[in-house]
Amino acid sequence: MELHILEHRVRVLSIARPGLWLYTHPLVKLLFLRQRSRCKFFSLTETPEDYTLMLDEEGYKELPPSEFLQVAEATWLVLNVLSNSSSATNFQAVGVTKIARSVISPLAEHHVSVLMLSTYQTDFILVREQDLPVVIHTLAQEFAIYREVDGEPVPVACDDASNGFHKAKLGPSPTVHPIQSPQNRFCILTLDPDTLPAIATTLMDVLFYSHSASKEGASDDLDLDSIPFFAFSRIEGYISIVMDAETQKKFPSDLLLTSSCGELWRMVRIGGQPLGFDECGIVAQIAGPLAAADISAYYISTFNFDHALVPEDGIDSVIEVLQNRQESCR
């Protein structure tokens, strides 16, 4: 397998829900007016608490500072795992479940904090720029590692990256975070970018005007009501959308594309309190057990919490697997 370090240098931000009005204009530009922005990595996720943005430096320049905008201090680099990529036209994304053991768990063991962004097309792993030498050293035996330069993959000299590297010391066990499962049934969709104008008014209505009240103090119970959650990503020209099945009814059925089986997904939401960015192993404690049980999953990190999407018909098994894992860690 190959590990590609993409060219994007990404910032992670939170827009407070009351301040969304201040950012509607730049967000419309980033969403719909590609010719007016050089942003190539854009992801917007609505949660009950806020709107999380992951976007490259060109996109970040579009957003004015304000009291409503929180910006994570680090700059993040984007990793993508490919298999069978003997040429630029012959590759396949391998999915969160398959990279749990080979990427996510080893990085957690070396105390590298990661964010995940699953899309319809592939899965992106975000690591702090300052942690890249540790990432390369940790994964060099498992992967051929390339760094994209001007759109071309250039092999990484792993020996150089290891110079001065010190093996990580054993750290504290990761915190076991509570999990919750709201009742929404989610769709994971894509869209031909040329047809984006046809859904623009509906998309703006869903993102900017159909606000649900934030649920204060989410319960640790697993029987949550439906929560507002909507994710839109436009990365290197490819569009991915996650929305619940009720929201999907607002869109033209012939424009949004999904897998042939039309599978629906349920959410597992990780964290009782905001997770922050420094703790390591949060993704691993979810992705690892799911991989061991051979359960497919999408994973979306946000500014405050993490979210795994699993097949609807397997949600009970997922909850059981994760609860058993939590009990074994206590």
With tokens 């976007």, the residue in question is 55
Q: Helices then strands (H, E): number in the chain?
A: 10, 17
Q: What per-residue confidence (pLDDT) applies to 94? A: 47
One pLDDT digit (tens) per residue for the chain, 330 residues:
899 999 999 999 999 999 999 999 999 999 999 889 999 999 999 999 999 999 999 999 999 999 999 999 999 999 999 876 444 444 444 457 678 888 999 999 999 999 999 999 999 999 999 999 999 999 999 999 999 999 899 999 876 555 545 555 445 566 788 999 999 999 999 999 999 999 999 999 999 987 644 444 444 444 468 899 999 999 999 999 999 999 999 999 899 998 766 789 999 999 888 888 888 888 988 988 898 888 889 999 999 999 999 999 999 999 999 988 877 776
Q: Enter the pTM of the model.
A: 0.89
Q: Extract the runs of DSSP E, i.e. beta strands, from 211-264.
A: 230-235, 238-244
- Are 205 and 265 a contacting pair, CB within 8 Å? no
Write out the two tokens for 70: 């929180």
Convert 99-138 into a string of H (helix), E (strand) and C (coil).
HHHHHHHHHHHCCCCEEEEECCCCEEEEEEHHHHHHHHHH
- Are 207 and 32 a contacting pair, CB within 8 Å? no
For the chain, domains (ranges, CATH) are 1-210+224-329 (3.30.2130.10)
With tokens 């991989």, the residue in question is 291
Distant-in-sequence, close-in-space partners of 33: CB < 8 Å, separation ≥ 6: none
Tell me the C-alpha distance between 321 and 300, whole Å.
19
Q: What per-residue confidence (pLDDT) applies to 316? A: 93
